[in-house]
Structure 1
Amino acid sequence: MGSLDDINDLRGWLELAEKLGEVRTITGAHWDKEIGAASEVNYKRPSPPALLFDDIVGYGTGQRVLTASMANARRLGMTLRLGTDLDDRGLVEALRTRPGEWAANASRYPVRVVETGPVRENVFAAGEAGLLDFPVPQWHEGDGGRYIGTGCAVFTTDPETGVLNAGAYRMQVQNDGRAASINIEAGKHGAAHVREWFKREGRAPVTASLGHDPLLLVVAGTEVPGGVSELEYAGAVLGRPVEVILGEVTGLPIPATAEIAVEGWLYPDRKEQEGPFGEWTGYYSGGTEAVLTMDIERIYHRDNPIQLGAPPGKPPHDYSYMRSVMKSAMIQDALIRTGLPGVEGVWAHEAGGGRQLLAVAINQQYAGHARQAGYLTSQLPAAAYMNKFVVVVDADVDPRSLNDVVWAMCTRTDPAEDIETMRQTWGSRVDPLREKGVPPFNTRAVIDACRPYTRLADFPKVAEASRELIDQVLRRWPDVLGGSW
């Protein structure tokens, strides 16, 4: 049937996913909103399949767009090379300690520079081809244009150390396909690299991959620790180095098996009006603003290239499941590494885009333990960006169950005593609460939804059947009760 070891690129990933029955094909959709709308409908299904769009209106057969690549546990587990038969619980268990191990081992997998690769099957200089030669979707009805960069990996380097960063920043097609704006949040590593290049050279080199093994979207779209190259981190996941070519213009890496890639330079005064765009908060990022824009110096692509689409929107969206799983694992690992005892579980809920609502389950061991867990979690580098709520619950509450978390809040939280607020923390330009022209701070709350430490011995007992009794009735009536719990 094929194995995880056979995946070397997006095509190998797609072949295995198809063999597992995880892909559905849609033909004849229009790039103008239909691909986005069909994808949105799909995200709301239980365990949604991946969607592959072909014969897109106005474009030839074979120029495809893939969405929902990692929208369920089986395909995300496959992408992370953890297995092809994992469910939600199995995926969470398989990920325990892995993010920290991958980060620690990343330096053992420096990228391997190769002379050529499939991405060089077609190479065009500026003016010889454009981004609209590909079926770039307008994803949402209210978007300000067509976005080729949603499931992308944008590469920048630290001009002093040479450390590479990959970020999943939205890229809007500009100037009829001859340019692309790159919307990098100010607090991201890529933005710091660009600012340093501007100071030193007056321009910043950039490359971007627009279709690739979805693993590159995972590492580009989540907070890999600072100083760790995302491509080396991906190598640690794979157990082998990622092969790259070097861009003809900038010398920056491009994944050798990418489907489509571009390169060029950013200049401080080269900006285009960008947006609005339907963002992961579930709202359009308000209005338009001038954003750094790259004039395309080179376009590289394979024959019949596949775009990796990952449009955000009101959750659940394309990558909200992936982000929830990855952020949960990264935050839990980081929290344990602080030395905090009694950590039972962490979950970054999809309703908050995998960032804004975090639930932490602990086994209370001392007075103040719950608040300590909440404050630590709220400011961990893996969790701090645009977090709004950290809810700390007891170990008897499943942090993955929004119902259970809210139940604990309703029955164990005194609003006057158990909600702490933190002001002027790390926010985002895409926050719908942000007022235009105001720095993107946000306020966050730490909610203690644990039983009061002073009442652990006499707090009312939860009215639910014991694990033993549940197992007993499941064994007696498996056909009626489902056989598992």
Structure 2
Amino acid sequence: MAGGNPLDLRAWLAKMEESGNLQGIRGAHWRFELGAISELNVKREGHSALLFDEIPDYPAGYRVLTCTTSSPYRLASILRGPLTNDHHELVRWLRGKPKAWESQAKAFDPVAVETGPVFEHVDAGDAVDVLKFPAPLWHEADGGRYIGTGCAVVTKDYDSDWINVGTYRVMVHDANHVGLDMVSGKHGHIQYQKYMAAGKPFPVCIVIGADPLCYLISGIEVPYGICEFNYIGAVLGEPVQVVRGELTGLPFPAAAEIVLEGWIHPGDTRLEGPFGEFHGYYQAGAKPAPVVTVERVYHRRNPIIVGSPPAKPPNDYSYSKAVMRSALLLDALEAAGVPGVTSVWAHEIGGARMLTVASIQQRYAGHARQCGHILSQCGVGAYMGRYTIVVDDDIDPSNLSEVMWAVATRSDPERDIDIIRNAMGSKNDPMSVAYTSKAMYSSRAIIDACRPFDHLQDFPPVAEASPELREEVRRRWSSILPL
């Protein structure tokens, strides 16, 4: 039923199937198997997105989609960029794009339409049953079934017209109640607090399935006061088509797969969690979180849940975070006036935050240290940082084997590791259990793994074939060597 709506998930899936980027799986169980299969899949080279069907206990056609953003080709397609299998090419294309999209967002107000595929089924009253959908129990230690992972939560400011769309995890409590975990300080939580202070119910619409661009953008740091639907419109180059909920009047994509609409009533909380975090740990146990009383369920025929569960990296969404953050870090280094930066990579294994690497063409004494300190402490890189490494431009910063070779052979622990103390910390840091300060401080290590600038001419040469020879040999022996 793909139509002309640019946020129609099914149109995107058709493109992925045609390009060999979608694999169907039948019969996997919602209890653990969907999560484990997705977790193992994302660690394979050249893996596809997974579309699960014929899930036990559920009608055929009630599906779950995972691994949407975990390859350069699929992520480029989602961002409407040039299709590529090279993540460095994708990062280069992305440079400057977030700022441009942000500045253009005001010109792309969403357009309200009367109806859309999401209204093919409308459940109200006693017919509301969130568990009619195959919400997965993703991992063995999870506190419940999470229907919302690759989701987009639509809320409205109490004292303005600002609509916010954020990605917050959603745990199923029962047929018409779900837990909504909004981290303190996030825009949705700020809006929630205003309603609670006024003693008013907080209106919520939870988009459980749509084009992955929807949850990708709702999961990044869009500035306060800007609606993510506007930002998505800037990415698309055309306004998002939205319909409005029957109860709250909140907008959501007309081609959404599943939408839960309801209210968080003042004081209504239940234990939520535990659930994994982006860094691969269960950071906290069960804790009280707001509860949405679901009063309407809208869904398409044969609906699709978009899942993106956290796990030990690489996980379902760690690649997209690595690409987006790498582009932002490159922009930050350029804005700070650091020359000669050839590439940056925010490694998935560090949740795209705790291990970042930059490669530079050294131009002056202190260049590598300058780059490392700015990369570590700029606005994009400061939160939950840990290790920052600077390497020469013959090293691919995304190749951990090459990076650690540079660390092992081009750095000396005493002279080439700088420590920053009392940097920005976080309660979400798994090492916070070892912090002794009440304030959330943590340290940073900056490793200069470049050849010493005053020994560039006499540093031992690398024992390997030249790029020209490698290319010639690959061309001649293409039958046994990959191009």
TM-score for both structures, normalised by structure 1: 0.90
Change in CA separation of 1:423 and 1:136 when aligned onto 2, cut-off 3 Å: same
Deviation at 1:289, TM superposition (A): 1.0
> How far apart in 2 are the matches of 1:249 and 1:303?
22
> How far apart in 2 are the matches of 1:52 and 1:89?
28
Structure 1 gaps of 5+ residues are none
Change in CA separation of 1:443 and 1:261 when aligned onto 2, cut-off 3 Å: farther
How do 1:1-150 residues align onto structure 2 when only pairs under 5 Å count? 7-84=6-83, 86-150=85-149
Deviation at 1:274, TM superposition (A): 1.2
User: Given that residues 100 and 330 in structure 1 are in contact (C-alpha distance below 8 angstroms), is that contact kept between their aligned partners in structure 2?
Assistant: no
> How far apart in 2 are the matches of 1:445 and 1:165?
36
User: Given that residues 172 and 180 in structure 1 are in contact (C-alpha distance below 8 angstroms), is that contact kept between their aligned partners in structure 2?
Assistant: yes
Deviation at 1:240, TM superposition (A): 0.6
How do 1:139-178 residues align onto structure 2 when only pairs under 5 Å count? 139-160=138-159, 162-174=161-173, 176-178=174-176
Change in CA separation of 1:295 and 1:23 when aligned onto 2, cut-off 3 Å: same
Deviation at 1:61, TM superposition (A): 1.2
Q: What is the DSSP-based 3-state SS (H/G/I as helix, E as strand, rest coil) of the residue aligned with 1:236?
A: helix
> How far apart in 2 are the matches of 1:397 and 1:370?
14
Deviation at 1:143, TM superposition (A): 0.8
Change in CA separation of 1:477 and 1:30 when aligned onto 2, cut-off 3 Å: closer
> How far apart in 1 are the matches of 2:288 and 2:64?
28
Deviation at 1:5, TM superposition (A): 8.2
Q: What is the DSSP-based 3-state SS (H/G/I as helix, E as strand, rest coil) of the residue aligned with 2:323?
A: helix
Q: Counterpart of 2:475?
A: 475
Structure 1 vs Structure 2: percent identity of aligned residues?
Answer: 47
Q: Counterpart of 1:451?
A: 451
User: Given that residues 4 and 78 in structure 1 are in contact (C-alpha distance below 8 angstroms), is that contact kept between their aligned partners in structure 2?
Assistant: no
Change in CA separation of 1:270 and 1:177 when aligned onto 2, cut-off 3 Å: same
Residue type of the partner of 1:333? D
Aligned length: 479
Change in CA separation of 1:304 and 1:341 when aligned onto 2, cut-off 3 Å: same
Deviations 1:172-220 (A, max 9, x none): 111x132111212224333333334434565533322110001112112
Greater shift, 69-78 or 153-162, is seen at 153-162
Q: What is the DSSP-based 3-state SS (H/G/I as helix, E as strand, rest coil) of the residue aligned with 2:413?
A: coil
How do 1:301-316 residues align onto structure 2 when only pairs under 5 Å count? 301-316=299-314
User: Given that residues 375 and 388 in structure 2 are in contact (C-alpha distance below 8 angstroms), is that contact kept between their aligned partners in structure 1?
Assistant: yes
User: Given that residues 210 and 308 in structure 1 are in contact (C-alpha distance below 8 angstroms), is that contact kept between their aligned partners in structure 2?
Assistant: yes
How do 1:17-416 residues align onto structure 2 when only pairs under 5 Å count? 17-84=16-83, 86-160=85-159, 162-174=161-173, 176-200=174-198, 202-267=200-265, 269-416=267-414
User: Given that residues 7 and 240 in structure 2 are in contact (C-alpha distance below 8 angstroms), is that contact kept between their aligned partners in structure 1?
Assistant: no
User: Given that residues 4 and 81 in structure 1 are in contact (C-alpha distance below 8 angstroms), is that contact kept between their aligned partners in structure 2?
Assistant: no
Deviation at 1:13, TM superposition (A): 0.9
> How far apart in 2 are the matches of 1:136 and 1:439?
38
Deviations 1:71-96 (A, max 9, x none): 22222221111244544344334333
Q: What is the DSSP-based 3-state SS (H/G/I as helix, E as strand, rest coil) of the residue aligned with 2:319?
A: helix
> How far apart in 2 are the matches of 1:445 and 1:156?
39
Q: What is the root-mean-square deviation of aligned Cα atoms in Å?
A: 2.7
Structure 2 gaps of 5+ residues are none
Q: What is the DSSP-based 3-state SS (H/G/I as helix, E as strand, rest coil) of the residue aligned with 1:290?
A: strand
Residue type of the partner of 1:326? M
Residue type of the partner of 1:134? F
